[in-house]
Amino acid sequence: MTGHYLLDQDWGAYDATDHAVWRRLFDAQSRLLPGRADAPFLDGLARIAGDGARIPRFEDANRLLKPATGFELVAVNGLVPDQVFFALLAERRFPVTRWIRRPAQLDYIQEPDLFHDFFGHVPLLGLPVFADFMQAYGAAGRAAGAAGALRHLARLYWYTVEFGLIETDAGLRIYGAGIVSSKGETVFSLDDPSPNRIGFDRARVMATDYRIDDYQQTYFVIDGYETLFHALDGDLAPVYAALANRPALAPDAVVQGDRVRARGTQAYARAKHAA
């Protein structure tokens, strides 16, 4: 069923404006991220995305990714149904949107485009432990669907793969694709006093709602990518069952038991739209 959603990248169809948008975003983020993004992300970016002069060819990236972690990129037209997304990840295939935003959307776009998917997600797919987590996440999706627990798994993805922070010897660093692909949130997530920054805990993250139209009010911090991988260890059914009876936590909540690294002021202007 996944095949139905897969397309050719059709690299020849990109016009000069598309390549210019890629180059503009690539250069801006490449200047901003050193000292903010985690080293494995920066290393992966340097290896896989080239010099940023033009939109990369998925087939070129696959020649590097496949031998490294078995992952390959497949071109899609945008979000695919959850079960298709899980099935692709379980087979170590990552769906990359083949169209790129227009110049008017340079600073913010709601749905994932090629820049978000390739620049944000692809560099870490070359890191074995992260690739193993992504494959395990896909495999967990099938079972979660049957358990009616997709929202819990979606929250885990959201607060890690999309908007995760990691504690390193050099300090707090970004690894979430939604942050590294956003100029404003790259700065906000590390420097702004308004969001909470709380130690990652599987059940806590799975219980916490999120919003998709503004910067996050809470960022969860892992101490290593192995923590992500082990978050999917064992049978998740009891975890889902325990969560099913609890009301969801609000995105700005701080609760008993949280390992609070920084409690946000929540003096929270709608930063993204103010940018």
82 binds, among ligand HBI, Fe ion, none (CB under 5 to 8 A by kind): ligand HBI
Closer residue to Fe ion, CB minimum distance, 130 or 264: 130
Q: How far is the CB of 125 from ligand HBI (least distance, A)?
A: 13
Residues that bind ligand HBI (CB under 6 A): 76, 79-80, 82, 85, 95, 112, 154, 157
Packing angle between helix 183-191 and helix 16-32, nearest 10 degrees?
20
Check if the beta carbon of residue 108 is closer than 8 Å to that of residue 186.
no
Among 72, 121, 152, 182, the active-site one is 121
Among 5, 174, 175, smallest CA distance to 86 is for: 5
Region of residue 26 (phi > 0: left; psi between -120 and 50: alpha; otherwise: beta): alpha
Closer residue to ligand HBI, CB minimum distance, 98 or 172: 98
Backbone angles phi, psi at 8, to 5 degrees: -80, 150
Among 29, 39, 117, smallest CA distance to 78 is for: 117
Q: How far is the CB of 112 from Fe ion (least distance, A)?
A: 5
**What residues numbered 142-181 form the site for Fe ion, per CB under 5 A?**
177
Q: How far is the CB of 93 from ligand HBI (least distance, A)?
A: 11
Closer residue to ligand HBI, CB minimum distance, 27 or 111: 111
Site string for Fe ion, 110-129 (x = CB under 5 A): --x-----------------
Give ∠ CA 165-167-172 in degrees, rounded to 5: 70
268 binds, among Fe ion, ligand HBI, none (CB under 5 to 8 A by kind): none
Whether 4 sits among the annotated catalytic residues: the reply is no
Among 72, 152, 181, 185, the active-site one is 181
Closer residue to Fe ion, CB minimum distance, 165 or 177: 177
Among 72, 152, 162, 182, the active-site one is 162
Closer residue to ligand HBI, CB minimum distance, 1 or 16: 1
Q: End-to-end CA distance of the chain: give it in Å, rounded.
A: 40
Q: How far is the CB of 35 from ligand HBI (least distance, A)?
A: 27
Strand arrangement of the beta sheet that strand 218-222 belongs to:
171-174, 165-168, 218-222, 196-199, 260-262
Q: How far is the CB of 161 from Fe ion (least distance, A)?
A: 7
Check if the beta carbon of residue 209 is closer than 8 Å to that of residue 250.
yes
Classify residue 26 by burial, with Cβ atoms within 10 Å: 0-12, 13-18, 19+. Answer: buried
Among 72, 116, 152, 189, the active-site one is 116
Whether 182 sits among the annotated catalytic residues: the reply is no
What DSSP character marks residue 247? Answer: P
User: Tokens at residue 74, please?
Assistant: 């497949």
49 binds, among ligand HBI, Fe ion, none (CB under 5 to 8 A by kind): none
Catalytic residues: 116, 121, 162, 181
Binding site for Fe ion (CB under 5 A): 112, 177
